[in-house]
A and B are shown apart, each in its own frame.
Chain A
Amino acid sequence: MTAPPDDCLARNDWICGDYLSTRREILLDAVVEHVQLTATAVGLGLAVAVPLALLARRRRWTAGPVLGLTTVIYTIPSLAMFSLLLPLYGLSGTLVVVGLALYSLTLLVRNLLAGLAGVPAEAEEAARGMGYGPMRQLLTVELPLAVPTAMAGLRIATVSAVSLATIGAIVGHGGLGNLIYAGMNSFFKAQVLTASVLCVIIAVVFDVLLLGVERLLTPWRRQSRRRSRPRVRTAGRKPPVTAGMAAGGTAPDGASSHRPPPPDGASSRRPPPPDGTAPGRRT
């Protein structure tokens, strides 16, 4: 018997360049699956959350049940969630997507509602005064102004979905989670560490991308931050609506200047969710 080759794979090192080069395709497939799972799930969650939030806003009595139900779903541990969906979807990627989408609902609905609630009354009155109908007002005034808060929720939901998708390994569809699971069973350190790091990288990339989208969707905030804020400060006037938003003025009590960031922390400009407590991290 010949001696085994003395490379980092044989030594089972944590960091191993040979692993990256020899398993490139496996890693790439896992990354692609991971991204697909999370993107589909968050997209699905968004497609459900927007109508739900609008319904909860239009018909006030539905707000309680909608928020209550999504919070209850959020409380269920991920392993249990994926297992509960097992009879419905079997061992499939759909199961993971649906599970992740259900989790994202809480954050999306809450933040959409908080964003819509934070639209300044002056802006709504102005739109009404200009003769905007309810639909036009919603699409051109309320939703754009709700974007920053809604995006904060979307970013948290996406980042959480990336890290949660790993649990999908239990049904064989966990993207990078599959590699972590397999690496655990074979004590393959390089595989576990590489997949974990890739997971975090995917989350960060998603977060940065969404931040870019947010900036594209809210051009007025960039402008107001650069120009109107200093002018407002020196002139001592009541700040215009958009400048107020940029300065963090969505807090209804106007005491935002000395306020610490909210516990959830993704955006310091975010008013507290409707019931005042931010849901924790999902596991």
Chain B
Amino acid sequence: MNTLSEVWSWLTTAANWYGENGVWNRLGQHLLLTVVCLVISSLIALPIAVTLGHLGRGGALAVNLANIGRAVPTFAVLVLLLLTPIGRHGEWPTVIALVLFAIPPLLTNAYVGMREVDQDVVRAARGMGMTGTQLVRRVEVPLAFPLVLTGVRIAAVQLVATATLAALVGGGGLGRIITAGFNLASTPQVVAGALIVAVFALLMEAAFEIGERWGTPRWARGRNR
């Protein structure tokens, strides 16, 4: 395979890894974008989900949000934001689109996690005289934690994928290597970039998988798995 050897030689050329357009720089941008957006969307979605879950309301809202989110193309939203006045401010269109699309998985998983808490446990805690806040902090949130974490993982992996699309609207990140390859009509660079992106996404997924396994306390293992 000729293409394969060309891809290999692209990947092993040091010049492709260093410098402003190098892989390392793009990887850093990608990671930064993902982490920043994950933090912002978690700060927005998780408190809402915990409140709604505690009150037992708004389930339809969370589910409908997730469903509508699926039908809206990320690429279209990115371009629409780019063409509005927001588009003049660097990475803002990307950040807004990424946060918007990361909220539904965070919201739905955390909400479901809160609702799946054993109602007997909740009643027992109430019987012990816990107030609403105590109940949330000491019973419901710890018990819902595994599903909340699942939502965070889904959102993170999705963010990695979406951050790739930022390159289509002139943003940074690993996707830039692929789009640059298309502009140069260089199939080896396109494929090499795609490989790097795919490996990065899979590593992110694996890292969360391992982190989840290690971070879950023993009593919570086996639930929601």
Q: Which chain A residue has the least Cβ–Cβ distance from B116?
A: A260
Q: Is there an interface contact between A260 and B112, defined as CB atoms closer than 8 Å?
A: yes
Question: Given A84-B194, A263-B109, does the pair A79, B79 have CB atoms closer than 8 Å?
Answer: no
Question: What residues make up the interface of B, taking CB atoms closer than 8 Å to A?
Answer: 3, 59, 62-64, 66-67, 69-77, 79-80, 82-83, 101, 104-105, 108-109, 111-112, 115-116, 119, 147, 150-151, 154-155, 157-158, 160-162, 164-165, 167-169, 175, 178-179, 181-182, 187, 190-191, 193-195, 197-198, 201-202, 205, 224-225
A264 partner residues in chain B, CB cutoff 8 A: 66, 108
Q: Is there an interface contact between A261 and B83, defined as CB atoms closer than 8 Å?
A: no
CA A142 to CA B143, docked complex, whole Å = 36
Q: Which chain A residue has the least Cβ–Cβ distance from B62?
A: A265
Pairs across A and B, CB under 8 Å, 20 listed: A76-B161, A76-B197, A80-B193, A86-B190, A86-B194, A160-B70, A163-B72, A166-B76, A167-B168, A170-B179, A177-B73, A181-B79, A184-B79, A195-B76, A199-B73, A260-B116, A263-B109, A264-B66, A283-B101, A283-B165
Partner among B162, B165, B224 whose Cβ is within 8 Å of the Cβ of A276 = B224
A182 nearest CB across to chain B (Å): 10
**Nearest 6 CB-CB pairings of A with B:** A83-B194, A196-B76, A77-B161, A280-B154, A265-B63, A163-B73
Question: Given A200-B72, A280-B105, A280-B157, does the pair A265, B178 have CB atoms closer than 8 Å?
Answer: no
Question: Given A77-B201, A79-B197, does the pair A177, B75 have CB atoms closer than 8 Å?
Answer: yes
Q: Is there an interface contact between B198 and A84, defined as CB atoms closer than 8 Å?
A: yes
B175 partner residues in chain A, CB cutoff 8 A: 77, 79
Binds B, one of A17-25, A45-53, A129-137, A186-194: A186-194
Main DSSP-derived SS at the A contact region = helix
CA A203 to CA B74, docked complex, whole Å = 14
Q: Is there an interface contact between B63 and A184, defined as CB atoms closer than 8 Å?
A: no
